[in-house]
Amino acid sequence: MLYQAKTGVPVFVPLQPEVADLLRAIPPGLKPDLRYFFWSGNGPPKTYVANWQRSYSRLFAVVDLRNPDGTPKCAHCHIFRDTFAVEMLLAGVPNDQVSILLGHSSVCITKNHYSPWVRARQDEL
């Protein structure tokens, strides 16, 4: 279960059983907290986020992501969120549901930020 940061309304996002099993198989770190898969629960969340951003920045540098024209792709952690939103819209999930999953305070935010990037939805409209 997730909680929207802005509204506090509970949001449930089920995981495929195979994914949940793989996550449960991750060896626990020091002082594990069973509420989290990738954090011990110790220390401020800001530190936790910064550590993951640093790790992903290194990963993106190693894999050398490129745009179709060969130029380096500006990669950051937010691309996972962007990809999630666009794939949900392409799969036909309504804007209001994608908005809830992203924690947006209004469906207009989702429409303004993600719908323009989904060519299939533009063609549909």
Tokens of 116: 């323009």
Q: Is residue 97 part of a domain?
A: yes
Q: Is residue 10 part of a domain?
A: yes
pLDDT digits (tens, 9 = 90+) for 64-103: 988 889 998 888 888 888 888 988 888 888 989 999 888 8
∠ CA(86), CA(93), CA(60), 5° rounding? 25
Total of domains in the chain: 1
Tokens of 48: 């936790």
Q: Is residue 64 part of a domain?
A: no
Q: Is residue 85 part of a domain?
A: yes
Check if the beta carbon of residue 122 is closer than 8 Å to that of residue 26: no
pLDDT digits (tens, 9 = 90+) for 2-55: 555 566 666 667 788 998 899 888 887 776 777 777 777 788 878 878 888 888
Q: Is residue 61 part of a domain?
A: no
Q: Is residue 71 part of a domain?
A: no
Helix (H, G, I), strand (E, B) or coil at 3: strand
Check if the beta carbon of residue 11 is closer than 8 Å to that of residue 3: yes
Full residue range of the structural domain in which residue 38 is found: 2-42+77-124
Q: Is residue 23 part of a domain?
A: yes
The residue to which tokens 């910064």 are assigned: 50
